[in-house]
Structure 1
Amino acid sequence: MLLKGLAASLLLVCCAVTAAPADEVMALLRQQQAAWNQGSIDDYMAGYWHSDNLRVVSGDRFRYGWESIREAYRKHYPTREAMGQLTFSQVDIKILGNDAALVVGRWSLKRDKDNPSGAFSLLLEKINERWVITHDHSSD
């Protein structure tokens, strides 16, 4: 009986460990969505790798560096109204290893004047025990 209970406990731990990275990545996306919808670009940027090597590709533009990208967001979304309400959908997370994940999905903004939307792909890496976005490619 003790062995059966131990085996069941071990199975639960193994399953939890396997599911944890995808859950952690999804939690990061939910935090970003909430920060955006509260109008906080700084909190939204907390999901990104704070490094000069961070890369964001949007349309035909390549941007590098956390500070540069944060300033671009501030310029393009100067007010909460301009930011609108962000929704992620059709999110698919593929864990690539213990410290890397690929996420693809769709994004949409609901604003008074329009409702832009598009697709995204993200490379997330676990750096210093924390999942962060190291590469973001978004399109309309």
Structure 2
Amino acid sequence: MKRLLLSCLFIFTLCTVYAQDKQAILKLLADQQQAWNNADVDGFMQGYWKSDSLMFVGKTGPVYGWQTTLDNYKKRYPGKAAMGQLAFKVIKLQLLDPENAFMLGGWHLTRASGDIGGYFTLWFRKIDGGWKIVCDHTSSNS
């Protein structure tokens, strides 16, 4: 009976941690969306791992580094009009283990100059107790 109780407690704890991690990742994404919609690229970048090893893959191939990614966002989206209003759609969020998660989703920008969107795959890693995007592969229909 004691084993059964301990097993149940262990499973309950895992489920609770799993749910908390999923909520933390979804909050990170919601915070990014809010920052973007406030034309705050620096705030948007807080969801990314601040490291030279951050990988971003777009239509021109992989680039590395948090600062490079920030610079590219600022170059491509120089102001509120170019940034528009961002909406994310999470298609799948899967925790791979206690330190890694995968997300497949879509993104859409509503802008006066024309809407654009596409899909993304994100690799999240728990770093110093918090979740960060360590690899972003984003496609665009533009």
TM, length-normalised to structure 1:
0.89
Q: Distance in 2 between matches of 1:90 and 1:46?
A: 19
Query: Structure 1 130/77 Cα, relative in aligned 2: closer, same or farther at 3 Å?
Result: same
| Aligned residue number for residue 81 of structure 2 | 81
Q: Report the 3-state secondary structure (helix = DSSP H, G, I; strand = E; otherwise coil) of the residue aligned with 1:78.
A: coil
| Aligned residue number for residue 93 of structure 1 | 93
- Give, in angstroms, the shift of residue 120 of structure 1: 0.2
| Aligned residue number for residue 47 of structure 1 | 47
Measured on the aligned residues, the alpha-carbon RMSD in Å equals 1.8
Give yes or no for contact 2:90–2:103 (8 Å, CA) kept in 1.
no
Could you give the per-residue CA deviations for residues 44-97 of structure 1, whole angstroms, max 9, x where no partner exists?
000000000000001132111001110111111111110010000143100001
TM, length-normalised to structure 2:
0.87
Structure 1 segments, 4+ long, off by >6 Å, are: none
Give yes or no for contact 2:122–2:133 (8 Å, CA) kept in 1.
yes
Could you give the per-residue CA deviations for residues 6-40 of structure 1, whole angstroms, max 9, x where no partner exists?
99xx5865542221111111010000000000000
| Aligned residue number for residue 125 of structure 2 | 125
Matched residues, percent identical? 38
Q: Which runs of 5+ in 1 are unaligned?
A: 1-5
Give yes or no for contact 2:48–2:132 (8 Å, CA) kept in 1.
yes
| Aligned residue number for residue 138 of structure 1 | 138
Q: Which runs of 5+ in 2 are unaligned?
A: none
Answer yes or no: is 1:56 the counterpart of 2:56: yes
Q: Report the 3-state secondary structure (helix = DSSP H, G, I; strand = E; otherwise coil) of the residue aligned with 1:113.
A: coil
Q: Report the 3-state secondary structure (helix = DSSP H, G, I; strand = E; otherwise coil) of the residue aligned with 2:114.
A: coil
